[in-house]
Chains A and B, each alone.
Chain A
Amino acid sequence: MAQLKILVYPDERLRQISQPVKGVDNKIVSFISDLEETLSSLLGCVGIAAPQVGLFVRIIIVDVSSRPKHKNHGHLVLINPVITFNEGNSIGREGCLSVPEYTGRVSRSQYIEVKAQDRFGSDVVYQMEGYEARAIQHEIDHLDGKLFFDSLVGKRNILKKRTDF
Chain B
Amino acid sequence: MLFNSYEFIFVFLPITFFIYFYLNHKRLTEVSKGFLVCSSLFFYSWWNVAYLPLIVGSMLFNYFIGKSLSRKAIKKKLVFGIVGNVLLLSYFKYTDFFIQNYNWILNTETPLWHLALPLAISYFTFQQIAFLVDSYRGETKEYSLLNYSVFITFFPQLLMGPIMYHKEIIPQFQNKFNLVIKWEHVSLGLFIFAIGLAKKTLLGDPLTDYAQTAFDHAQDLSMIEAWYASVSYVLAYYFDLSGYADMAIGIGKMFNINIPLNFNSPYKSRNFAEYWQRWHMTLSRFLEDYVYKSLGNNKKVAYVIYINIMITFFVSGFWHGAGWTFVAWGVLNGVFVIMAHMMKKAKFKLNFYIAWALMFLGLIVTRILFVSDDFSDAWYVTYTLLDFSNLIFYNLPYVDKYPQTFYIVAGLGLALFFKNSIELSKNFKPNKKYLAYTVVLLTASLFTFTKAKEFLYFQF
Q: Do A and B bind each other?
A: no
Interface residues, chain A, CB within 8 Å of chain B?
Answer: none
Report B's interface with A, CB cutoff 8 A. Answer: none
